[in-house]
Amino acid sequence: MKHARTGLAALGAALSLSFLAGCGQPENPAPAAPPAQTAPAHNEVDVMFAQGMLPHHQQAIDMSRMAAQNAQSQQVKDLAARIEAAQGPEIDKLAGWLRDWNAGQSGHGGHGGHSDHSGHAMSGMMSTDEMTTLSQTKGAEFDQKFLMLMIKHHEGAVAMARTEVEKGRFPDTQQMAREIMISQQSEIDSMRTMLTQH
């Protein structure tokens, strides 16, 4: 009897192991899922940066195109051309990241950080009236207005970029932010010098 009980116990144990092994099979793919989810390592700050910087860049391009027609100084025209050439490709990257993250481009979809984001989105942005006035100005007066407004605009972009560098997570947006801080601060310095000459 003792042998029979031992045999039954061994059989039960074997069946239990077999059952557990069988149940474990469908769970094998589960460990593969986390790497796929962690690949786009971005956070809300990255999204806000892209949503805010995209229209910010677009406005800088609109202002730069006005300079091609309205500026008197060749220096101002050359600066505007450089701004347009640099920021056009960055707009494409920003839009691509937002598509990858399934995030809208409107900048109004913040989760709890809406007020902060609104501030970033408007940082240094020109009002509709300022843009209209600039578009109707020509010659040396345009040069002066353009430089003053673009300095303000660039300062806003540098502030937005600094927040991304400090609090963002996505490597590519952080790299763009670092480049913006360096290039636009350099342009701010140049424009301040140009203001003293116009």
CATH of the domain at 191: 1.20.1260.10
pLDDT at 131 over 80: yes
Identify whether 22 is part of a domain: no
Residue 88, both tokens = 């056009």
pTM exceeds 0.75: no
pLDDT at 20 over 50: no
Kindly list the distances between the CA atom of residue 25 and the CA atoms of 19, 31, 105, 136, 184, in Å, as whole numbers in the listed order. 10, 12, 43, 71, 56
Domain contains 89: yes
Domain encompassing residue 187: 41-195
Give pLDDT, residue 114.
34
What integer pLDDT is reported at residue 105 of this predicted model?
A: 77
CB count in 10 Å sphere of residue 59 = 16
More confident residue, 154 or 113: 154
Any domain includes 18: no
* Number of structural domains the chain divides into: 1
With respect to residue 172, please indicate whether it lies within any of the assigned structural domains.
yes
Structural domain includes residue 66 = yes
**Is the pLDDT confidence value at 5 over 70?**
no
Residue 121 lies in a domain: yes
Query: 24-55: per-residue pLDDT in tens?
Result: 555 555 555 555 455 558 999 999 999 999 99
